[in-house]
Structure 1
Amino acid sequence: MKYKYLLLLLFTLLTATQSMAQRRLTKSGRASADTALIVKQYADSLALLKQQLEEVRRVNDSLHSESTDGRYYRLFAPTTFYHSGVKRQLSLDGEKGDEVAEAVDKAMLQLYMKRPDLVKNNETRLKKAGTLREDVNKEVKQKVDLTRKVELQPEEPEAVPIGLVVTKPNFWKFKGEGYLQFLQNYVSDNWHKGGESNYSAVGAVTLEMNYNDKDKITFSNKLEMKLGFQTSRSDTLHKFKANNDLLRLTSKLGLQASKKWYYTLQLLAYTQFARGLKSNDEFTYSDFMSPFDLNLGVGMEYKLKALNGKLTGSLNFSPLSFNFRYVARNTLLDRYKLGGHHTKEDFGSQFTGDVKWTITDQVTWKSRLYYYTSYHRGLMEWENQFRFQVSKYISANLFLYPRFDDSGKRDDKLGYFQFQEYCSLGLNYSF
């Protein structure tokens, strides 16, 4: 009996174990079947999606590549239910519309049917909110106008290091001019008005060296040299004699006080080259260093510039001036009233004016006015030179020179006034 119950228990356990195994196998088979069905449906959806995308791409390729089309925005915007797809499917007229709009509606309809859970909004609600565009089924093209042509920028050369050389500015200026002119006059012996033939020549050189630092200080130096000779048949003692003779140095140191005024220290020194003679007269009236005059004055100078730069020059006033005179020849000591001495000094005041007026391109007037007084004697010289430029190297000069000097002997006709004049034609050169 005991074995009978034991066998019955074993049979019951075997039966339960078999049932559980069959139940497990059934469940495993069902799981495999469900997995295969899901995989098949996913593959079918991918194939359908690929077909739809190929159709959309085909329609898009038919459009202009450079245009930007706004009809595709429904595919990328948040999923919304639009009426156009349903109306197109339920339409009975069968009319074909825009290919792109039709393809988009078809793709959206497939999405509504496969995934309705993704639809979060609808066209009616968007219209009430006022956020739906009405031109979504129209092709939108961008129009670009070329308003400005941008020129190509030149390539900049590479910077090459160079050595920088800084030179000190040169404040000195040098200039000069000179001329050599002749005059010939022939008169026959039986000329009804008389007279005599003569020849004359005159040469002059003027050199200037000026300093100007463009700030306060100026230093000007001018050296004037002039010498002229003449011959005449009536003079039996001299083959030729000097009629123009000058050696003069003018130096001026200036310190600017205002725009046109300068404090100045002026040095003026002058004498002559050769002996001064008269026709048929052996007496020597002047000679080198006989006399020699040196004048040193302190004052102010005014820079003159007018008539659009055609009239230029300077006016120098020296209320305090020292004058020194030296005469080397003993025979001339009494003539220049030195009282038997070779030197004489005195103090006084002086004025010097130098102007140049370019009247025309061919006519120029240069004038120098000098006046000195020791309050016991006075000296005034007014030199005027008119130049007529014939060509680049040929010119004619007219020289007028009135002079007043009360330190010499008084003339019965002119008193203390003296006068010299000459006219010449010849060569000139400036540098």
Structure 2
Amino acid sequence: MKRIAIIFLFWCLGCTGYLVAQDSVSFVPVVTTPQVESAGLQDTVITIDERDLPDLRSRLEELNMDYQSPVPLNDRLRQLLTKDELRMSPEATWLISRFYDRSNQFGPDVTFRDTMIVNPLFLPILFKGDYLPKNLVFYDTKALDPKYKPAPLMPNDTIPAFKDYLMAQASADSAHRYVETHYPMYFRYTQASLPQDAVKAKVIKKEITEDFPLVVTKDVTFDNVEAPTKFIPERRYWTSSFESSLQVAQNYISPNWHKGGASSLNLNHYEFFEYDYKRDRIKITNTLKIKNNIYTAPNDTLRNYKVSDDLFQIKTNVGYQAFSKWYYTFDFDFSTQILSSFEENSNVKLAGLLAPYSITVGLGMKYDLNKTFKQKHKSLTFNVNIAPLSYTFRQTIDENIKLDKHFQKKADGTLPTVENLLGSSVEATLNFQINRSISWYSQFKYKTSYARIEGDWENRFTFAWSRFFSSNITLNMRYDDGVAKSEDFNSYLQINELLSFGFNYKW
């Protein structure tokens, strides 16, 4: 029993010492040295405590006294480590980008500016597999050619542009051969590895059977189907049109011209405005016309210009459709002139504002025709108004004008200042647009009091060079047997012709 108690006591002490040793020593390295037979030494086990191992940080501090713990990299430290680079201004960067931009080689008239023509020399190098040169031959290539072969009219190598292309192509081939010989590792693609047909069309065939079964499952009826709402645009009863022109004609004659004459400058002004109404069987036409023709008068010692044609006219025609293109009409016409005109080298006044003026009313019928053609911009407008019963009132507010140019002498030989004429009248208007640039306007007026005849025929040909410029040929003929004849031209027929060029506008 005593032996057992002693052994148990030593065993407890041994366990206590082992636990204490485990708490104090965490790492016990064991170094074993091999046996050296020559020296006669046996294997030796050396035990070292970890506290006796040298500290790595302490050892480094001993070797390098300036050693410090590493500092994390921040923006300030990065600025010290990064070298300053030379930066260009935004203006210089923009100019360089514009200079190297390949799209700038195309002008503004090129539509597809994003399509670039790239030299194949600057693309990835492609191995074509042509080992032998193109000019390598082993026979006479001209042996089978005819004895006589005409020379080309213009060889390709004589054309400067084509010659430059051949030189550029030869340079590119030479560079490709050089890379192929000296740097074969730069080739990444071969011509044989490229896709030959990127997109293949697939044809879909559908078999059509003649005995396709048609099955009607339900009777279809359209009794309950509502029709779509019909769109009726708002109708315009009032329409308008306007035409304006300012034409200039110039004639220069030198003082030593062998047939004499004088230089002159003509200014022709024309304004026409029309405002119409049409609804059902009623049609109303309102027009305003202003026409002036002024020219220089070098032979007139009292004034520098003269007025050859002057008209201010307001006209209204009210019609009620009788049948087809015929209308019962009531016509109203007021006309006078605006500017004053005088005889040459005299203060005798020929006409002026409301000197004279005339008002004409009439009852009759009117024929109205509007025709269009298959040709574009070609149209015809024609109307004629026949008034079997018309009345004209003519008066002048200035009695000092030359009355024999406007009024008919009475039976006693005096000239009146007021006239009342009862008779009939006819007026026809033609507007023919021949094509987009040429048009013809014609207007004929005829009035009679069965003792006096007045006729006026105006023709104007317009040649439009552009939207705003045109040339006009104007011819006016007037017949009036109720006024005195001129000493220079013994006839009742009066003629006025003018060729001019200038501004023209129409809508």
Same fold (TM over 0.5): yes
Q: In 2, Cα distance between the equivalents of 1:201 and 1:411?
A: 25
> Match of 1:202?
268
Compare 290-299 and 230-239 and name the one that shifted more. Answer: 230-239
If each structure's strand is expressed as a fraction of its own residues, which one has the higher value?
1
Cα distance, 1:324 vs structure 2:
0.5
Return the offset for 1:406.
1.1
Which runs of structure 2 are paired with 1:167-246 in the superposition (5 Å)? 169-213=235-279, 215-246=280-311
Distance 1:186 1:411 in 2: 27
Q: Distance in 2 between matches of 1:310 and 1:274?
A: 35
SS at match of 1:332: coil
Q: CA deviation at 1:375?
A: 0.5
The gaps in structure 2 that reach 5 residues or longer are 1-208, 215-230
**Gaps (5+ residues) in structure 1?**
1-142, 149-164
Question: Which position in structure 2 is the counterpart of 1:420?
Answer: 496
- Are positions 1:346 and 2:417 aligned together? no
Alignment of 1:28-427 (within 5 A): 169-213=235-279, 215-305=280-370, 308=373, 310-332=379-401, 334-335=403-404, 336-337=407-408, 339=414, 341-411=416-486, 413-427=489-503
TM-score, normalised with respect to structure 1: 0.59
Paired AA for residue 352 in structure 1: E
Task: Check whether the contact 1:304–1:315 (CA below 8 A) recurs between aligned residues.
Answer: no
CA shift, 1:332, in A, is 3.2
Q: Which has the higher helix share?
A: 1
Given that residues 403 and 417 in structure 2 are in contact (C-alpha distance below 8 angstroms), is that contact kept between their aligned partners in structure 1? Answer: no
Query: What is the CA RMSD across the aligned residues, in angstroms?
Result: 2.7
Q: CA deviation at 1:167?
A: 9.3
Contact 1:297 1:318 in 2 (8 A): yes
Distance 1:293 1:187 in 2: 40
Question: What is the distance in 1 between the residues matched to 2:462 and 2:232?
Answer: 43
Q: CA deviation at 1:265?
A: 0.3
> Do the aligned partners of residues 361 and 169 (structure 1) sit closer, same or farther apart at CA in structure 2, a change above 3 Å counting?
closer
Give the Cα–Cα distance (whole angstroms) in 2 for the partners of residues 358 and 171 of structure 1.
24
Q: Residue type of the partner of 1:251?
A: T
- Displacement of 1:359: 2.4
Name the CA distance, whole Å, in 2 between partners of 1:303 and 1:359. 19
Q: Counterparts of 1:362 and 1:170 in 2: how far apart (Å)?
A: 28
Q: Which residue of 1 aligns with 2:74?
A: none
Give deviations 1:275-316, integer Å, cap 9, x for gaps.
Answer: 122332221111111111111000000113457373321011
Cα deviations by residue, 1:52-95 (Å, 9 ceiling, x for unpaired): xxxxxxxxxxxxxxxxxxxxxxxxxxxxxxxxxxxxxxxxxxxx
CA displacement at 1:419 relative to structure 2:
0.8
Shift of 1:244: 2.4
- In structure 2, how many angstroms separate the alpha carbons of the residues matched to 1:349 and 1:255? 20
Per-residue deviation at 1:317? Answer: 0.5
What letter is aligned with 1:337? Q
1:94-136 CA-to-partner distances (Å, cap 9, x unmatched) read xxxxxxxxxxxxxxxxxxxxxxxxxxxxxxxxxxxxxxxxxxx
**Is this contact kept in 1: 2:446–2:456, CA < 8 A?**
yes
1-side partners of 2:459 and 2:415: how far apart?
Answer: 35
Q: 1:343-400 CA distances to partner (integer Å, 9 max, x unpaired)?
A: 2212100000001112232221111000000001110000011111111111000111
Q: 1:414 to 1:365 in 2, by over 3 A?
A: farther
Q: Hey, what's the Cα distance between the residues in 2 that align with 1:207 and 1:275?
A: 24
> Secondary structure in 2 aligned to 1:386?
strand
Contact 1:333/1:342 (8 A) holds in 2: no
Distance in 2 (alpha carbons) for counterparts of 1:333 and 1:272? 15
SS at match of 2:400: helix
Cα pair 2:349 2:402 within 8 Å, conserved: no
Structure with bigger RCO (C-alpha 8 Å, 6+ apart): 1
Number of residue equivalences: 275
- CA–CA separation in structure 2 for the residues paired with 1:307 and 1:414: 44
Range moving further from structure 2, 282-291 or 324-333:
324-333
1:229 Cα deviation from its structure 2 partner: 1.5
Secondary structure in structure 1 of the residue aligned to 2:266: strand
Summarize deviations over 1:214-263 as a string: whole Å, max 9, x none.
x1000000100012221132222112222221101121000000111000
2-structure distance, mates of 1:397, 1:333:
31
Look up the match of 1:104: none
TM-score by length of 2: 0.51
